[in-house]
Chain A
Amino acid sequence: MNSRRNFIKLASLAPLAASFPAMSSAATPFTGKFVVTVQAVGAWDVTCFCDPKVNQRGEEEITQWSKSDEVQSAGNIRYAPFANNENFFKKHAQKMLVINGVDALTNSHSIGETVNWSGRTALGFPTLTALYSAINAPSLPMSYVTFGGFNRTENLIRATQLGWSVDNISGLLKPNFQNDRPMMDSTLWSLIRSVHKNEAQSVIDAAQITAGNRSARQAYLSSLSNMDPLSDFADVLPKDNEWEPRGANGNLRQQAQFAIAAFKADVSVTADLSQGGFDTHEDNDNGQTDSLSDLSDGIDYLWDAAEDAGIADRLLVIVGSDFSRTPYYNSAQGKDHWAVGSYIIMEKGKDYTNRVVDGSDEGQNALKIDPTTLERSGFGTKMVTSHVHDALRDYLGLSRSGITQIFPFNNSEKFTFFS
């Protein structure tokens, strides 16, 4: 058939299409952990959540719930009887490592986001999730998914930003398809894309274009090379009425829904979920009730969805915020910014979970912790975010990578959170 002959001729123009093994979408399936961060944007009040504090005689009121209630426990995890905490902690305590008393070293939102999710106050480091994706699955089509919040990648990988419009995506990932059949002959369409790739590669190889133009063309080239799995992914995404409803402070359930679907479909390995509504300078308790309820609901949904998808055993979730809120109320019954906050790290079936690192005192000041025993110690060290990030890098096997080594933390001690 003549058309075949023409295809063959076109194909001969496309020898470079097979020369990008690193970018090939046919890489070995990823079998490692899926890493999710859940960013509580605006600074959560951990005294109403995972670092419960009760009012102290002679001190300013730190929590209103403690006037009539006591600290609750689920397994070894202590939590505040607040919002929807009871259901959440009872259901998930066995998966939790709670690290309280982590000093963000700032009370500024933008720097708080930076330090909590990259590990240091100065810009210039990627998020843990970007690092993980760059090392483990750089060629997956949406290896690193984000929904806003802090998502710097430092050029290691290109983040897939989704935001509020996540539920609009499923009908758009099948170029050249109309009503489930290809518009243009599939072979020809594939060759058109090969021609695009070859042309892009040729321009890049010419080495005369500026670095910015080269980088943009590389992004196009790698996108063309890696996008094919998205077509099948579109088939497993929820349809219009199958998306979870949006919440008052965001669409955390939808984000979780998407992330799990993307993990399951082998198109992604990390996701940064985010939810706002925590910056409660006025009427702290009502605001935190709404936001923490949505947050715990979203995380709960994430785990349920992971179970349904059969990937819960591979999921690691890191929950955190910019920092925390003052251990006292202001005149508007709000709480302002406070540098000492918490992380919750969740994983199923691990020995390090169902545990609290108790690094804050009754006034929510940071305490020194022995890096090995994780007990309070006068000879210990106050925890900062880089300690947590450093330990996570080790635990996730990132520290050995040369990529990680160009973003070094200069901690003098290592905390053994995961042993």
Chain B
Amino acid sequence: MSKALKTLSTQLCFAASLLLTVPAAFANTTSPLITVGSISTDGSQSNSAFRLSIDSEQTESELTTQSDIQLYVDVVPQQAHRDTVASIYAVVIAGGQYFKLNEEGAYQPWDGSMEDLTPFANDQRLTSTSRYTLLDGRLSDVGSYSYFVAYKVQGESTLHYTPDPAQFSVAEFSGLLDQSDSVAANTFEAEVESQIVQAKCIFCHAEGGSARNSSLQFQRDNTASALNNFATLSAFIEEKGSELLLSKASGSVSHTGGVQLDQNSDEYRALQKVVDQINAQDEPAYYTFSGSANTATPRQVSFFTEVVLEPRDLTLRRATLLMQSRLPTDEERNSVDSDASLRIALRRLMQGPNFRKFVVTSVNDRLLTEGTDNPLNTAYNHFLKLHNLKARENLADTNSQIEWKIREYLTRASGELVAHVIENELPYSEILTADYMMMNKTMNTWMEGTASFSADEGDDIFKPSVVQGYYYGNDLELVEFHENSNSIYRAVGEPLKEFPHAGLLTDFGFISRYPTTATNRNRARARWTFYHFLGIDIEKSSQRPTDEASLSDRNNPTMNNPNCTVCHALLDPVAGAFQNWDESNFYRGSGNGADALDGFYKYPPDGSDSPYQEGDLWYRDMRAPGLFDTKITERDTTLRALGELIADEPLFLTASAAFWWSPVFGKPLLDRPAVETDNGYAAKLAAYSAQQKEIERLAEYLEQGMNAKDMLVEMFMSPWFSSESVSGSSYDSAHLESKLGSDQLLTPKQFANKTRALTGVAWRSGRSPDGELWSEIEQLSVLLGGIDSEAVTQRAIELTPTMTSILLTAATESACIAVAREFAQPAANRRLLDLVEATTLPLLEAQISQPVESQAYEDWKTVSLTASLAPGAKTVKIEFLNPYCDFDGQNCVEQRKLYVDSLSVTAPSGMRGIVRGNDPRLKSSYGGPNPDCYNHGDKHRLCFNGHLSLDFQAAEAGEYTVRAIVSAEQTPIRGGLVEMGLSINAKENLLSANTENSRAIREQISLLFNKLHGTSRNPDSEEVTTVYEIFAAALETEQASDGSAWEFENCSTWRDGFIWDDLLSEEEIATFREPHPEFNYFLTDWNILGPIQGKILADPFSSKYAWTAVMMYMLSHYDYLHE
């Protein structure tokens, strides 16, 4: 695979440049490195001198990647060269490579030849001492640096240079990038943070404030707010300029907040001072020495400048597996030759059933709807048809599992809605405003939806549908009373005419996942609405009250106590928008559908007065429904109104990008670090800032047409998806904090899907007679790093020994099944092993297999094999391919036996050698005390198993004929004939064999790397050789086995519930499998299936065992468990 590596342009992301602006906290010191006399290239006398020194805050022995360094040389030319014009040269050895300084101040590789040596300064008039700067900035790379300097007088060819280098080392910076010590930061904290930001700006420029969409977003007062707000201010100046900031503050340009600072005020002057100090900060240049001409230029290093992306075809592969659970087709692969064509290919992946499954899983990862207990309680009669069905089932003690099915489908409906919106390229805002929900056939039937389904459409198909069968209690009449909510009702009124669907906001799974109570009053629903759809984490946006007075305030503190209103002013209006959804998750579930208010509020049990008035839909002692400053006056479809308000917010765009971050990139978004003195704070902040920058960029793609595919395509194109390697370590700590990298640990489902798609194996999965798919992966989800949407809600992103152990169990259990599947099919139909057959053994030169149609001992038959051979040592084998013993515990009731009378080899010249069956040169397999073959009578050999082999020397090239005279005892009860193989093998070292077969095996292994790992390994590569040796070791182990160890025929095919469905026709399957008459599983007739299985698990050449070892290697490899 050619590695067409793409480097990011430096301007792509410049998120964390602020961190680099660390002005000197104390004076520089000068460290002399070396003073050395010169020598010349032509051996002539040279009396010049060079002094190299370093200026830095640190001494020469303490330099780190964060040290500001000025390296300079003083050239003291010999007397004769003073006042001449010369060129000056500098060469550095870094990372074992040579670089030369060029006229632009950049370092570029030098090949070591004089022809390639170019000066960094020309036309320099030499004085008694001339100073030149060789470095002015920071060194990105850890390591030692050796500098040589030279000059050449104009018109001469002799170079005068330093014979010994000036040397210094740079260590990794391990401390805290403490920008809080900067002059600007100190001024900000002392004069701006409390006096201006917290006193004025914070009322609008903060989460939930009226200027929440401005790029200037401050943190409310907390332990880290001064530092974080300084960073925010600096970023704003970096992006928009200081003039705009000062103009807005003083009101000289349009500022929604009006004049905040008079230009003659102390506050304005303080702000001006900070701005000036920020602008005065120099950003250091960074030098990297990577050996590439493209990267040797001194430049600013940001989060992504040293990052190298994976090749496009790898991005396509990973995205295809993620979204489509398959590998890209050849057509797809061939279509991608540019970023533009990759974008097109990625977009085409965003459709179809597998894409919808990807979306459903992704949405659940965020909304956790699968963790809800009961999204639609059928004990209530609002969905009349469903309630009556369930009640009748309960009364009749029957169970159609309808409640569980509806529950499962409802927890999936949110994901189906998002998938529907994305796949059909509807405005993404429709996820919050859709006036329908997604239903499958069962839901549509029992919830009485408006969608239409054909007879052949199953419950995996969801369509937009509107509830038509929802009743208020007053519109129902009791028909039969039964206890335990099993009464039967009939409709006497009309169902709700317009069910107030509002996308995810009214999704049954979402509503019930965050239930409300009489005191919670929908605040949990509001909190998660803010979090998922506006990106505001209210719990973290402001510190909670800590003083007892606030906590014990009983005077409606959420309305009146500033300690509480700081959050509740934001939260409670959104809670109000959920006013029509009660604590049982129903729309106005009270008898006549009047409201959804709790009874404790309306009718206090202690008889106290309630502010409730008839007709109220919301609590009078809470804020009115709305979002931010906008009230919601709509009464019935409040959530749709809320959805529309949210969709109009720019924060919805960034929240949407954040929503998809983990599903696409496989790593969580970072929280903003809160405490500046924390270990690694600077790295965390840099990583967080880079992520936020990317979110803003992605949001812009969504904003253009509100088409989520536009954003998702860019996510897959993002370096956050495809960062593979780095050329420097400047941002290593920040990269680690964000786990930046292209490798994603497969989720349990992705692992199962990949295994099914690539190997065919459905590990511990299958289908029940009723068509329901089952998989142990569901139960194992958390153990494999997945979530249960209840207690465990965050996916593991790295392996633990436990996860690895289970995945290796899956690998070893799947390996033999995968091999069995492959060899059971013609090569053209195989997924993986299409270059080899079971007889493709490294040393095999010719082979024939055939039944021995002998009826008894001494009913001799001749089996012959003719092959063209090269000269060399050979081995002929007589192989017993289908040994059988019907063992009753003591003896074989019947047993196949193979008798050998003789074996002869005829050379091209006609010379013929023959050995009798009992000749000791004819060696039995296992050869020990219990061989497979025994002498029988005076001349013959009797085999129960294994093989007999004979070594011979092929002295000449040409056609050889091998003949075996054999007879057999058959097994009439079992049926079939003794199968025998006759083969000729090269007698060579298995590992170093270079036969046609060994080359085919290597080619096959190379192909496996490509298909299973997405890596390109040449057949002669070290990696393929290693796996070939695994193959060879397994082959020899099995061939030398005494039969007591695990054999390929012991492979547990039952671990794969689809193996027979995939390999056999329905008619064949019907001969041995039928549904259990009572329970939902299959009955199997092993008398019929046994021989079928025996055939595909037969491994007479031990090659399937060997390929199993290879597959174990492949499926347990890091590259298989990650994509």
Contact = CB atoms under 8 A, between A and B. Distances in A.
A406 B1023 CA distance: 42
A400 B804 CA distance: 33
Contacts of A330: 518-519, 600
Contacts of B723: 210, 212
A184 B1033 CA distance: 11
Interface string A208-251: 11111111110110111011001100000000000000000010
Interface in B303-353: 307
Nearest to A148: B791
Nearest to A339: B551
Given A111-B540, A147-B791, A331-B600, A216 B1040 contact: no
A223 B801 contact: yes
B539 A111 contact: yes
A192 B798 contact: no
A110 interface: yes
Interface string B1091-1123: 000000000000000001100110011100110
B805 interface: yes
Interface in A62-106: 103, 105-106
A210 B740 contact: yes
Contacts of B739: 211-212, 215-216
Interface stretch (B118-126, B541-549, B827-835): B541-549
A138 B679 CA distance: 20
Among B739, B800, B1045, B1121, find the residue whose CB has the most chain A CB atoms closer than 10 A.
B800
A320 B15 CA distance: 41
Interface residues of A, number: 95
Contacts of A1: 1036, 1040
B740 to A, nearest CB: 4
A407 B678 CA distance: 7
A236 B1040 CA distance: 34
Contact of B518 (A162, A217, A281): A281
Given A181-B1046, A220-B804, A6 B1032 contact: yes
A296 interface: no
Contacts of B813: 178
B780 A6 contact: no
Given A165-B780, A185-B1034, A223 B726 contact: no
Interface in A165-197: 165, 168-169, 172-178, 181-185, 188-189, 191-193, 195-196
A7 interface: yes
B543 A121 contact: yes
A110 B793 CA distance: 13
Nearest to A142: B802
Interface stretch (B257-265, B436-444, B666-674, B859-867): B666-674
Contact of A162 (B223, B678, B782, B1036): B782
Interface stretch (A49-57, A153-161, A300-308, A371-379): A153-161
B724 A213 contact: yes
A243 B991 CA distance: 50
A76 B817 CA distance: 63
Given A161-B796, A209-B726, A210-B740, A183 B812 contact: yes
Given A123-B671, A124-B678, A365-B548, A175 B520 contact: no
B785 interface: yes
Interface string B541-579: 001111010011000000000000000000000000000
B781 interface: yes
B987 to A, nearest CB: 12
Contacts of A162: 782-783
A193 B679 CA distance: 35
Interface in B1039-1067: 1040, 1045-1046, 1050, 1052
A207 B726 CA distance: 8
A151 B418 CA distance: 31
A276 interface: yes
A336 interface: yes
A107 B542 CA distance: 12
A10 interface: yes
Given A110-B539, A160-B800, A334-B517, A184 B1109 contact: yes
Contacts of A341: none
Interface stretch (B53-61, B741-749, B996-1004): B741-749
Contacts of B768: none
A380 interface: no
Contact of A212 (B545, B741, B808): B741
Contacts of A10: 1026, 1029-1030, 1033
Contacts of A227: 801-802, 804-805, 808
Among A105, A110, A183, A224, find the residue whose CB has the most chain B CB atoms closer than 10 A.
A183
B103 interface: no
Given A178-B1052, A184-B1034, A148 B679 contact: no
A141 interface: yes
Among A9, A142, A176, find the residue whose CB has the most chain B CB atoms closer than 10 A.
A176
A105 B546 contact: yes
Among A124, A213, A339, find the residue whose CB has the most chain B CB atoms closer than 10 A.
A213
Nearest to A203: B1118
Interface residues of B, number: 100
B518 A210 contact: no
Interface string B726-751: 11010011011011111101000000
Nearest to B537: A110
A196 B604 contact: no
B544 A111 contact: yes
Interface in B167-223: 223
Interface string B654-677: 000000000000010001011100
A188 B388 CA distance: 62
B792 A148 contact: yes
A289 interface: no
B1118 A175 contact: no
B115 to A, nearest CB: 31
B105 to A, nearest CB: 26
Contact of B780 (A172, A175, A188, A366): A172
B154 interface: no
A412 interface: no
B790 interface: yes
B797 interface: yes
Given A172-B780, A184-B1112, A223-B804, A211 B548 contact: no
B675 A338 contact: no
B235 interface: no
Nearest to A365: B548
A185 B1052 contact: no
A212 B798 CA distance: 10
Contact of A331 (B307, B604, B725, B812): B604
A178 B674 contact: no
A333 to B, nearest CB: 8
A160 B802 contact: yes
B267 interface: no
A127 B1119 CA distance: 32
A119 interface: no
21 contacts: A6-B991, A10-B1033, A110-B539, A163-B790, A165-B781, A175-B805, A178-B1046, A178-B1050, A178-B1052, A182-B1045, A184-B1108, A185-B1037, A188-B1109, A195-B1026, A211-B736, A212-B740, A213-B741, A213-B742, A227-B802, A281-B517, A363-B552
Given A161-B796, A217-B743, 4 more contacts: A212-B735, A331-B518, A331-B600, A331-B606
The 9 closest A-B pairs by CB, nearest first: A148-B791, A212-B741, A213-B741, A175-B808, A219-B798, A141-B801, A6-B1033, A211-B735, A223-B804
Interface of B: 223, 307, 517-520, 539-540, 543-546, 548, 551-552, 598, 600-601, 604-606, 667, 671, 673-675, 678-679, 684, 723-727, 729, 732-733, 735-736, 738-743, 745, 776, 779-783, 785, 788, 790-793, 796-806, 808-809, 811-813, 816, 990-991, 1023, 1026, 1029-1030, 1032-1034, 1036-1037, 1040, 1045-1046, 1050, 1052, 1108-1109, 1112-1113, 1116-1118, 1121-1122
